[in-house]
């Protein structure tokens, strides 16, 4: 019986492969925890098995200008009281896909979890992807209401915004202990201006 959980995945294998001069590549893996089902996709071509899961491929498709038809924006660390928004975008879909997405029951998507992971591969041999280590989880988000836009007479774009737990929607407006909210509550007050600068610093107090 194991008393301690296994250690989290590390970058040891990809780093060693890179140091040996191998061609190391990476790909993102996204899991949608919808109300009625779970969808797991990756940004490469075709299905692929990783971590005991069969991931569906989104495909490295591009438009006529060479721009990717699918993208993930906003993968950044929350800092200084900010709550960066993750945005998943699928371009070039036809009206049939948009109609199906619009007809989906709202709570099938809204408020449901989404995770993004990254996986590394040794692509030294052309046409072969050798997994390096385990998938690393980049974060957990909550899916919001998707939006739809039209480009030309037939092509459509679906955008799915996602928020982190740092969004704190349950808090009242200006309810965060940040300099931005403090300025809106009490303009000119400097009480919340300096905390971000005190991280990992030793402050001698009181001073005589």
Distance CA 102, CA 143 (A): 15
pTM over 0.85: no
| pLDDT average, residue stretch 182-203 | 78
pLDDT, one tens digit per residue, over 170-181 is 556 666 677 777
Find, among 164, 178, 15, the residue nearest to 77 by Cα.
164
Find, among 24, 45, 36, the residue nearest to 119 by Cα.
24
Whether the predicted pLDDT of 159 surpasses 80: yes
Distance CA 161, CA 35 (A): 17
Distance CA 50, CA 9 (A): 14
pLDDT, one tens digit per residue, over 108-151 is 888 889 999 999 999 998 888 899 999 999 888 888 888 887 77
Whether the predicted pLDDT of 3 surpasses 60: no
Does an H or E element contain 19, and which?
Answer: helix 12-19
The vertex-43 CA angle with 132 and 152, nearest 5°, equals 165
Q: Is the dihedral of CA 173, 106, 117, 134 positive or negative?
A: positive
| pLDDT average, residue stretch 163-172 | 66
pLDDT, one tens digit per residue, over 54-110 is 998 876 655 555 555 567 776 766 655 566 678 888 776 666 666 767 777 778 888
């Amino acid at each position: 019986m194991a008393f301690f959980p296994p250690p989290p995945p590390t970058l040891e294998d990809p780093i060693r492969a890179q140091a040996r001069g191998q061609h190391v590549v990476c790909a993102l893996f996204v899991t949608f925890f919808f109300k009625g089902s779970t969808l797991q996709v990756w940004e490469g071509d075709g299905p692929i098995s990783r971590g005991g899961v069969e991931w569906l491929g989104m495909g490295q498709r591009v438009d006529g200008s060479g721009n990717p038809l699918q993208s993930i924006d906003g993968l950044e660390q929350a800092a200084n009281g900010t709550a960066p928004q993750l945005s998943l975008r699928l371009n070039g879909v036809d009206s049939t896909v948009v109609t199906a997405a619009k007809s989906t029951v709202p709570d099938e998507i809204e408020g449901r979890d989404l995770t993004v992971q990254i996986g590394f591969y040794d692509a030294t041999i052309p046409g072969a992807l050798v997994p390096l280590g385990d998938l690393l989880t980049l974060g957990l988000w909550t899916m919001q209401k998707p939006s739809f836009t039209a480009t030309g007479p037939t092509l459509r774009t679906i955008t799915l915004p996602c928020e982190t737990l740092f969004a704190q929607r349950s808090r009242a407006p200006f309810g965060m202990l940040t300099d931005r909210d403090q300025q809106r509550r009490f303009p000119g007050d400097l009480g919340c201006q300096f905390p971000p600068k005190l991280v990992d610093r030793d402050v001698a107090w009181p001073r005589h």
